[in-house]
Chains A and B, each alone.
Chain A
Amino acid sequence: MEMIKAENIWKSFKNLAVLKGISLTVKRGEVVAIIGPSGSGKSTLLRCLNHLEVVSKGTIAIAGETLVKTGPDGKAQYVHDAEIRRICRKMGMVFQQFNLFPHLTVMQNIMEAPIVVKGMTREEILPEAENLLKKVGLLDKAGSYPCELSGGQKQRVAIARALAMKPEIMLFDEPTSALDPELTGEVLRAMRQLAEEHMTMLVVTHEMGFAREVASRVIFLDQGEIIEEGTPQAVFGNPAQPRTRSFLSSIG
Protein backbone atom coordinates (compact mmCIF):
# COMPACT_ATOMS: atom_id res chain seq x y z
CA MET A 1 0.00 0.00 0.00
CA GLU A 2 1.41 3.37 -1.04
CA MET A 3 0.90 5.70 1.91
CA ILE A 4 2.49 8.67 0.18
CA LYS A 5 2.64 8.99 -3.55
CA ALA A 6 3.96 12.26 -4.91
CA GLU A 7 4.58 12.74 -8.59
CA ASN A 8 6.43 15.53 -10.32
CA ILE A 9 6.02 18.08 -7.54
CA TRP A 10 7.00 21.63 -8.44
CA LYS A 11 7.05 24.43 -5.94
CA SER A 12 8.28 27.99 -6.27
CA PHE A 13 8.33 30.93 -3.92
CA LYS A 14 7.89 33.94 -6.19
CA ASN A 15 10.65 33.34 -8.76
CA LEU A 16 12.64 30.91 -6.67
CA ALA A 17 12.09 27.32 -7.78
CA VAL A 18 12.52 25.21 -4.64
CA LEU A 19 11.17 21.81 -5.71
CA LYS A 20 11.85 20.81 -9.29
CA GLY A 21 9.83 17.79 -10.23
CA ILE A 22 10.10 15.62 -7.13
CA SER A 23 8.57 12.16 -7.22
CA LEU A 24 8.43 10.08 -4.12
CA THR A 25 6.66 6.98 -2.87
CA VAL A 26 6.47 5.74 0.69
CA LYS A 27 4.92 2.36 1.37
CA ARG A 28 3.14 1.34 4.55
CA GLY A 29 5.59 0.69 7.35
CA GLU A 30 8.54 2.19 5.55
CA VAL A 31 10.88 4.63 7.28
CA VAL A 32 12.29 7.00 4.71
CA ALA A 33 15.02 9.45 5.64
CA ILE A 34 15.54 12.61 3.61
CA ILE A 35 19.00 14.10 3.79
CA GLY A 36 20.57 17.02 1.97
CA PRO A 37 22.24 20.37 2.43
CA SER A 38 20.48 23.27 4.08
CA GLY A 39 18.18 25.10 1.66
CA SER A 40 17.81 22.11 -0.64
CA GLY A 41 14.02 22.02 -0.13
CA LYS A 42 13.65 19.23 2.43
CA SER A 43 11.26 21.15 4.69
CA THR A 44 9.34 22.50 1.74
CA LEU A 45 8.82 18.98 0.43
CA LEU A 46 7.45 17.78 3.76
CA ARG A 47 5.28 20.88 4.09
CA CYS A 48 3.82 20.36 0.62
CA LEU A 49 2.78 16.83 1.52
CA ASN A 50 0.52 17.99 4.37
CA HIS A 51 -0.65 21.23 2.79
CA LEU A 52 1.35 23.65 4.93
CA GLU A 53 2.53 24.84 1.52
CA VAL A 54 0.63 24.56 -1.74
CA VAL A 55 2.42 23.06 -4.71
CA SER A 56 2.68 24.87 -8.04
CA LYS A 57 1.91 21.65 -9.85
CA GLY A 58 2.12 17.93 -9.35
CA THR A 59 0.15 15.06 -7.89
CA ILE A 60 -0.02 13.98 -4.27
CA ALA A 61 -2.04 11.05 -2.99
CA ILE A 62 -2.14 10.06 0.67
CA ALA A 63 -3.13 6.46 1.40
CA GLY A 64 -4.67 6.27 -2.04
CA GLU A 65 -6.65 9.49 -1.79
CA THR A 66 -5.79 12.35 -4.11
CA LEU A 67 -4.95 15.59 -2.36
CA VAL A 68 -3.85 17.53 -5.40
CA LYS A 69 -3.35 16.84 -9.07
CA THR A 70 -2.26 18.84 -12.06
CA GLY A 71 -5.31 20.24 -13.81
CA PRO A 72 -5.84 20.60 -17.57
CA ASP A 73 -4.42 24.14 -17.35
CA GLY A 74 -1.14 22.75 -15.97
CA LYS A 75 -1.74 24.23 -12.52
CA ALA A 76 -2.23 22.43 -9.23
CA GLN A 77 -5.82 21.49 -8.52
CA TYR A 78 -6.60 20.73 -4.88
CA VAL A 79 -9.64 18.90 -3.58
CA HIS A 80 -11.94 21.07 -1.47
CA ASP A 81 -11.01 22.29 2.01
CA ALA A 82 -12.86 19.74 4.13
CA GLU A 83 -11.38 16.94 2.02
CA ILE A 84 -7.90 18.44 2.41
CA ARG A 85 -8.31 18.47 6.18
CA ARG A 86 -9.64 14.93 6.24
CA ILE A 87 -6.82 13.58 4.09
CA CYS A 88 -4.08 15.50 5.90
CA ARG A 89 -5.31 14.18 9.23
CA LYS A 90 -3.81 10.84 8.21
CA MET A 91 -0.44 12.53 8.75
CA GLY A 92 1.04 13.72 11.99
CA MET A 93 3.91 16.15 11.96
CA VAL A 94 6.76 16.96 14.32
CA PHE A 95 8.57 20.25 13.82
CA GLN A 96 12.10 21.36 14.51
CA GLN A 97 10.74 24.08 16.82
CA PHE A 98 8.24 21.77 18.59
CA ASN A 99 5.31 24.21 18.24
CA LEU A 100 3.75 23.06 21.49
CA PHE A 101 0.92 25.22 22.79
CA PRO A 102 2.50 27.22 25.63
CA HIS A 103 -0.78 28.05 27.38
CA LEU A 104 -1.72 24.39 27.80
CA THR A 105 -0.19 21.78 30.06
CA VAL A 106 1.50 18.72 28.60
CA MET A 107 -1.68 16.69 29.10
CA GLN A 108 -3.85 19.41 27.59
CA ASN A 109 -1.51 19.70 24.61
CA ILE A 110 -2.11 16.04 23.89
CA MET A 111 -5.87 16.01 24.51
CA GLU A 112 -6.69 19.27 22.72
CA ALA A 113 -6.93 18.04 19.13
CA PRO A 114 -8.78 14.77 19.87
CA ILE A 115 -11.32 16.82 21.82
CA VAL A 116 -11.63 19.76 19.42
CA VAL A 117 -11.19 17.96 16.10
CA LYS A 118 -12.58 14.50 16.79
CA GLY A 119 -15.16 15.57 19.33
CA MET A 120 -13.94 13.04 21.90
CA THR A 121 -14.68 13.59 25.57
CA ARG A 122 -11.96 14.12 28.13
CA GLU A 123 -12.73 10.72 29.66
CA GLU A 124 -12.45 8.97 26.31
CA ILE A 125 -9.05 10.38 25.45
CA LEU A 126 -7.48 10.40 28.92
CA PRO A 127 -6.35 6.74 29.07
CA GLU A 128 -4.90 6.98 25.57
CA ALA A 129 -3.13 10.26 26.41
CA GLU A 130 -1.66 8.68 29.55
CA ASN A 131 -0.45 5.70 27.54
CA LEU A 132 1.25 7.97 25.04
CA LEU A 133 2.92 9.98 27.79
CA LYS A 134 4.08 6.78 29.42
CA LYS A 135 5.45 5.63 26.10
CA VAL A 136 7.60 8.75 25.69
CA GLY A 137 8.52 8.59 29.37
CA LEU A 138 6.84 11.80 30.48
CA LEU A 139 3.81 10.76 32.49
CA ASP A 140 5.20 12.60 35.50
CA LYS A 141 5.19 15.84 33.47
CA ALA A 142 1.49 15.65 32.56
CA GLY A 143 0.66 18.77 34.57
CA SER A 144 3.68 20.83 33.54
CA TYR A 145 3.65 23.66 31.05
CA PRO A 146 5.95 23.40 28.01
CA CYS A 147 8.12 26.24 29.38
CA GLU A 148 9.03 23.94 32.27
CA LEU A 149 10.45 21.22 30.00
CA SER A 150 13.82 20.68 28.35
CA GLY A 151 14.02 20.64 24.56
CA GLY A 152 14.16 16.87 24.44
CA GLN A 153 11.10 16.60 26.66
CA LYS A 154 9.23 19.15 24.54
CA GLN A 155 9.92 17.18 21.41
CA ARG A 156 8.76 13.95 23.02
CA VAL A 157 5.52 15.70 24.02
CA ALA A 158 5.18 16.89 20.42
CA ILE A 159 5.51 13.30 19.24
CA ALA A 160 2.89 12.11 21.72
CA ARG A 161 0.60 14.97 20.72
CA ALA A 162 0.82 14.00 17.06
CA LEU A 163 0.22 10.32 17.87
CA ALA A 164 -2.90 11.13 19.87
CA MET A 165 -4.65 11.85 16.57
CA LYS A 166 -3.85 8.29 15.47
CA PRO A 167 -2.09 9.22 12.23
CA GLU A 168 -1.14 6.55 9.70
CA ILE A 169 1.96 8.48 8.67
CA MET A 170 4.37 10.58 10.69
CA LEU A 171 6.39 13.41 9.16
CA PHE A 172 9.44 14.64 11.05
CA ASP A 173 11.23 17.85 10.05
CA GLU A 174 14.66 17.83 11.69
CA PRO A 175 13.20 16.85 15.06
CA THR A 176 16.55 17.00 16.84
CA SER A 177 18.16 20.00 15.17
CA ALA A 178 17.07 22.50 17.81
CA LEU A 179 18.30 20.29 20.66
CA ASP A 180 21.49 20.25 22.65
CA PRO A 181 23.51 17.22 21.54
CA GLU A 182 22.99 15.38 24.82
CA LEU A 183 19.21 15.59 24.37
CA THR A 184 18.92 14.13 20.88
CA GLY A 185 19.20 10.54 22.10
CA GLU A 186 15.92 10.52 24.00
CA VAL A 187 14.02 11.86 20.97
CA LEU A 188 15.68 9.46 18.54
CA ARG A 189 14.82 6.61 20.90
CA ALA A 190 11.13 7.54 20.79
CA MET A 191 11.29 7.67 17.00
CA ARG A 192 13.10 4.36 16.81
CA GLN A 193 10.41 2.77 18.95
CA LEU A 194 7.78 4.15 16.61
CA ALA A 195 9.62 2.65 13.64
CA GLU A 196 9.70 -0.71 15.40
CA GLU A 197 5.92 -0.51 15.71
CA HIS A 198 5.83 -0.20 11.90
CA MET A 199 4.68 3.39 11.75
CA THR A 200 5.12 4.82 8.26
CA MET A 201 7.66 7.61 8.70
CA LEU A 202 9.20 10.30 6.53
CA VAL A 203 12.07 11.88 8.39
CA VAL A 204 14.16 14.89 7.38
CA THR A 205 17.29 14.55 9.45
CA HIS A 206 20.94 15.36 9.88
CA GLU A 207 21.34 12.37 12.19
CA MET A 208 23.17 10.07 9.80
CA GLY A 209 23.46 7.39 12.46
CA PHE A 210 19.69 7.32 12.83
CA ALA A 211 19.18 7.24 9.05
CA ARG A 212 21.69 4.45 8.69
CA GLU A 213 20.22 2.26 11.41
CA VAL A 214 16.49 2.95 11.28
CA ALA A 215 15.65 4.00 7.73
CA SER A 216 14.56 1.45 5.17
CA ARG A 217 15.40 3.95 2.46
CA VAL A 218 17.43 7.16 2.20
CA ILE A 219 16.74 9.99 -0.22
CA PHE A 220 19.38 12.60 -0.96
CA LEU A 221 17.89 15.93 -2.00
CA ASP A 222 19.92 18.78 -3.45
CA GLN A 223 18.71 22.02 -5.01
CA GLY A 224 15.15 20.81 -5.21
CA GLU A 225 15.88 17.53 -6.94
CA ILE A 226 16.23 13.96 -5.77
CA ILE A 227 19.82 13.14 -6.64
CA GLU A 228 20.02 9.67 -5.22
CA GLU A 229 17.79 7.18 -3.47
CA GLY A 230 18.41 3.75 -2.06
CA THR A 231 19.02 1.62 0.99
CA PRO A 232 21.16 3.20 3.70
CA GLN A 233 23.90 0.73 2.86
CA ALA A 234 23.93 1.83 -0.78
CA VAL A 235 23.62 5.59 -0.20
CA PHE A 236 26.06 5.83 2.69
CA GLY A 237 28.38 2.95 1.76
CA ASN A 238 28.60 3.36 -1.96
CA PRO A 239 26.99 6.55 -3.26
CA ALA A 240 26.62 6.58 -7.02
CA GLN A 241 26.44 10.34 -7.51
CA PRO A 242 29.36 12.75 -7.01
CA ARG A 243 27.07 15.28 -5.31
CA THR A 244 25.99 12.69 -2.76
CA ARG A 245 29.60 11.81 -2.12
CA SER A 246 30.67 15.40 -1.59
CA PHE A 247 27.69 16.05 0.69
CA LEU A 248 28.43 12.99 2.81
CA SER A 249 32.08 13.88 3.10
CA SER A 250 31.22 17.51 3.95
CA ILE A 251 29.25 16.41 6.99
CA GLY A 252 31.97 13.99 8.05
Chain B
Amino acid sequence: MANAQTLDRIFELVAPFNKKGIELQADTTFATDLDLDSLTVMDLVAEIEDAFDIILPLNLLPELETIEQVAAAVDRIVADND
Protein backbone atom coordinates (compact mmCIF):
# COMPACT_ATOMS: atom_id res chain seq x y z
CA MET B 1 0.00 0.00 0.00
CA ALA B 2 1.19 3.45 -0.84
CA ASN B 3 1.51 6.16 1.76
CA ALA B 4 -1.82 8.05 2.03
CA GLN B 5 -0.10 11.41 1.64
CA THR B 6 1.64 10.28 -1.54
CA LEU B 7 -1.63 8.97 -2.89
CA ASP B 8 -3.36 12.30 -2.18
CA ARG B 9 -0.60 14.23 -3.90
CA ILE B 10 -0.85 11.96 -6.97
CA PHE B 11 -4.63 12.52 -7.06
CA GLU B 12 -3.97 16.27 -7.13
CA LEU B 13 -1.45 15.89 -9.95
CA VAL B 14 -3.72 13.64 -12.00
CA ALA B 15 -6.79 15.85 -11.58
CA PRO B 16 -5.90 18.31 -14.41
CA PHE B 17 -5.50 15.32 -16.75
CA ASN B 18 -8.93 13.93 -15.87
CA LYS B 19 -10.63 15.31 -18.98
CA LYS B 20 -13.48 12.83 -18.76
CA GLY B 21 -14.27 14.01 -15.22
CA ILE B 22 -14.48 10.52 -13.75
CA GLU B 23 -14.15 9.91 -10.01
CA LEU B 24 -10.51 9.23 -9.23
CA GLN B 25 -9.83 6.09 -7.18
CA ALA B 26 -6.67 4.28 -6.16
CA ASP B 27 -7.39 1.67 -8.80
CA THR B 28 -8.20 4.15 -11.60
CA THR B 29 -6.12 3.20 -14.66
CA PHE B 30 -4.36 5.71 -16.88
CA ALA B 31 -4.84 4.03 -20.23
CA THR B 32 -8.38 2.70 -19.93
CA ASP B 33 -10.19 4.80 -17.31
CA LEU B 34 -8.53 8.14 -17.98
CA ASP B 35 -7.94 7.44 -21.67
CA LEU B 36 -4.51 9.11 -21.63
CA ASP B 37 -2.40 8.83 -24.76
CA SER B 38 1.36 8.38 -24.59
CA LEU B 39 2.07 12.11 -25.03
CA THR B 40 -0.18 13.04 -22.13
CA VAL B 41 1.29 10.31 -19.97
CA MET B 42 4.66 11.88 -20.59
CA ASP B 43 3.50 15.25 -19.31
CA LEU B 44 1.96 13.65 -16.25
CA VAL B 45 5.15 11.71 -15.50
CA ALA B 46 7.14 14.95 -15.69
CA GLU B 47 4.73 16.62 -13.21
CA ILE B 48 5.06 13.73 -10.78
CA GLU B 49 8.84 13.70 -11.10
CA ASP B 50 9.06 17.40 -10.36
CA ALA B 51 6.57 17.27 -7.47
CA PHE B 52 8.59 14.59 -5.65
CA ASP B 53 12.01 15.59 -7.00
CA ILE B 54 12.62 12.07 -8.30
CA ILE B 55 13.11 10.20 -11.57
CA LEU B 56 10.42 7.79 -12.74
CA PRO B 57 12.45 5.73 -15.21
CA LEU B 58 10.91 4.93 -18.57
CA ASN B 59 11.61 1.23 -17.90
CA LEU B 60 9.12 1.29 -14.99
CA LEU B 61 6.18 2.83 -16.82
CA PRO B 62 4.74 -0.32 -18.42
CA GLU B 63 4.18 -1.75 -14.92
CA LEU B 64 2.41 1.31 -13.60
CA GLU B 65 -1.20 1.01 -14.68
CA THR B 66 -3.08 2.48 -11.72
CA ILE B 67 -2.79 5.53 -9.49
CA GLU B 68 -2.05 3.25 -6.54
CA GLN B 69 0.82 1.60 -8.41
CA VAL B 70 2.35 4.97 -9.26
CA ALA B 71 2.07 6.12 -5.64
CA ALA B 72 3.74 2.93 -4.42
CA ALA B 73 6.54 3.33 -6.96
CA VAL B 74 7.04 6.95 -5.90
CA ASP B 75 7.29 5.84 -2.24
CA ARG B 76 9.88 3.24 -3.15
CA ILE B 77 11.98 5.65 -5.16
CA VAL B 78 11.82 8.35 -2.48
CA ALA B 79 12.88 5.77 0.15
CA ASP B 80 15.76 4.57 -2.07
CA ASN B 81 17.01 8.11 -2.49
CA ASP B 82 17.24 8.73 1.26
Bound pair: A and B? no
Residues of chain B at the chain A interface (Cβ within 8 Å): none
Residues of chain A at the chain B interface (Cβ within 8 Å): none
